[in-house]
């Protein structure tokens, strides 16, 4: 599907400002995925959206603004996705932990193009404070939630682990699995998720099997 195709009435002049911004952000993700950060041009983005060359500056003022808006969009999407999974899961800590780990490997998030776009931003983050802040905020809330859930499991299950060390181990492993999916060396979404599930089942045998949380 091309970024220029839209479900609502986006054709012609009718598109609202927000619709256009959305189109351009999607085209930006496409371009980042296809060409990488350093080769992504305004022309490529505009062509991808099926619009003219000046359009980005009209809606976003500058290329930099568009890129920041794109990263912001992906960060928001990521956060609302796992938070939604957390809320939908039952009240039990085990269910919640299972749900947010599953959210990390959801089909909608781990597409080739989104992973590649994240990769492009991460590569630049080290030398761009704005990107770094947006990428970093991504993980802080997630990690705090994981830590609370692991503490709850420990209290319930009588495990001997130190909660902080466990949190670090789990979160670092999840990030490492993402990293491998991004690099693409044979690590599929399913294999990564299986790796995470194996870990949970091994560390919390009283709460999980590799198939899921145990019923009570």
Q: Shortest Cβ distance from residue 54 to DNA (Å)?
A: 2
Q: Which of 79, 83, 154, 161 binds a second copy (CB under 8 A)?
A: 161
To which H or E segment does residue 91 belong?
none
Q: Is residue 5 within the footprint of DNA (CB under 7 A)?
A: no
The C-alpha atoms of residue 109 and residue 142 are separated, in whole angstroms, by: 15
Judged by CB under 8 A, the stretch of 2-10, 45-53, 68-76, 198-206 that binds a second copy is 198-206
Q: Which residues pair with 212 in a beta bridge?
A: 209
> For a second copy, which is the closer residue by CB, 5 or 39?
39
- Dihedral (CA of 75, 76, 81, 83) sign: positive
- Dihedral (CA of 45, 128, 132, 58) sign: negative
> For DNA, which is the closer residue by CB, 67 or 119?
67
> For a second copy, which is the closer residue by CB, 155 or 162?
162
- Exposure on the CB side of residue 108, measured as CA atoms within 13 A: 8
* Residue 11, phi then psi, degrees to nearest 5: -70, 160
Q: Is residue 43 within the footprint of a second copy (CB under 8 A)?
A: no
Closest-CA residue to 84 (of 68, 103, 66):
103
Under rule CB under 8 A, which residues in 101-120 are in contact with a second copy? Answer: 115-116, 119-120
Q: Shortest Cβ distance from residue 159 to a second copy (Å)?
A: 11
Greatest CA span in the chain, whole angstroms? 63
Which pair of tokens denotes residue 216? Answer: 């009570």
Q: Which of 4, 73, 173, 212 binds a second copy (CB under 8 A)?
A: 173
Q: Which of 50, 179, 189, 212 binds a second copy (CB under 8 A)?
A: 179
> For a second copy, which is the closer residue by CB, 34 or 92?
34
Rg over alpha carbons for the chain, rounded to the nearest Å, is 20
**What percentage of the chain's residues is helix, strand, coil (to nearest 5)?**
70, 0, 25
Q: Is residue 78 within the footprint of a second copy (CB under 8 A)?
A: no
Q: Is residue 15 within the footprint of a second copy (CB under 8 A)?
A: no
**Residues binding a second copy (CB under 8 A):** 33-39, 115-116, 119-128, 132, 135-136, 139-140, 161-162, 165, 168-169, 171-177, 179-180, 182-185, 195, 198-199, 202
């Amino acid at each position: 599907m091309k970024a220029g195709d839209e479900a609502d009435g986006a054709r012609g002049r009718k598109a609202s400002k927000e619709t256009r911004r959305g189109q351009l952000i999607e085209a930006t993700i496409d371009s980042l995925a296809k060409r990488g950060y350093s080769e992504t041009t305004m022309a490529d983005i505009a062509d991808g959206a099926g619009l003219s060359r000046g359009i980005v500056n009209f809606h976003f003022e500058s290329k930099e603004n568009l890129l920041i808006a794109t990263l912001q969009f992906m960060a928001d999407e990521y956060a609302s996705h796992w938070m939604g999974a957390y809320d939908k899961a039952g009240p039990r800590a085990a269910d919640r932990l299972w749900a947010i780990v599953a959210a990390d490997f959801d089909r909608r998030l781990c597409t080739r193009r989104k992973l590649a776009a994240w990769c492009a931003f991460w590569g630049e983050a080290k030398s761009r404070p704005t990107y770094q802040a947006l990428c970093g905020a991504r993980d802080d809330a997630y990690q705090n939630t994981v830590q609370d859930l692991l503490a709850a499991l420990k209290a319930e299950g009588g495990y001997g682990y130190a909660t902080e060390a466990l949190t670090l181990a789990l979160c670092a492993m999840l990030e490492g699995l993402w990293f491998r999916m991004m690099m693409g060396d044979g690590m599929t979404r399913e294999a990564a998720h299986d790796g995470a599930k194996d870990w949970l089942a091994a560390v919390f045998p009283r709460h999980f099997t590799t198939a899921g949380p145990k019923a009570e």
